Structure 1
């Protein structure tokens, strides 16, 4: 399972930017906008890393960091506008694994997260994603539906074998992106940012690609894996 990053950030625009860059790189994400919520969900989600702002309503980042350290050794990367040396030292003293000052380059933040996860032994992503009977090899760009019955037409008896889906590059990117977070609802704009180079595609372009992808999954025996959530976007089910 891909590493899960808990984003604790009260500025929506910053949270969305971090979320977009992290999901694009294969991480799972969960957002909260205050310190108490971060502490409430941490024992339930058991995130692999917490991306923590300091100036948040309710409990601030210092309190959250101190409590997380009392609970265990979940890696924490601080992202804050506090740029004084005394603030950096306090963060590291309490137990932060890294400290990033705003404004930041989101690519650098993702790279720092990857470095922290490597140091703590957490894998960022797996080469092969499996969702239900769907199997996606992100390195060879091959997706197949196991036990689809396609193999029996050629005389194979292995019910777990799957016929590769014939997908365009964009269809493969959409499928792999949704497979990294099964059951999550992705908005059309999220899918554009993550899967369509240039980011200038229209939402109806996403609809067209997803429609073609659903037809191919249906033909392979995986009907209704991708469902439409009206007014929001699309979900890939893990059943």
Structure 2
């Protein structure tokens, strides 16, 4: 099935170049130049992937990403003329899958899009062939005896105190990786290889940013223990009390 891509880009020359490159690769692409139009397209029929320019006349791609993330975990790629690391980290913290700084090669963007879609398809296949497992029964939480965390690999969901957590793709992969090997210390480079294997231009700060987000969501679900432990100069682990 042909993948549907939503492209938000207000510079027509850049948009035309990307449209040609993406359509030449067989993708179905819908182009809009305003944030409001992108949200309307998404509400009408969510695409398989969105490419969002950060700076557009009526807002920015970050706000569009936030709106999409309220109801969907579709892959998102940011386009921006700004190359500061803080902007890239912000985009990744919002749940973006990749970040491309202008000027860029249209072929590079196509390669990133195909890599992200391949990863998404692989995760779906792995989910269909996996069985649900329950881990973390010893992690302390607000409600006492019930297992704190449950990893459902079949549906690619993590439940906290019986309630499904709202996680982005990378938040899920990060927490699932730690849950499969409780108490094992993973270095940042290991987590980059295991969780962000196909993400280009990611750095080890990406791991730190996502750990911060996952910890906040665990607290929202009532876990009182610091489930994800930081090991100075070593990495992170999911710890359970004896």
**TM-score relative to the length of structure 2:** 0.49
Structure of larger gyration radius: 1
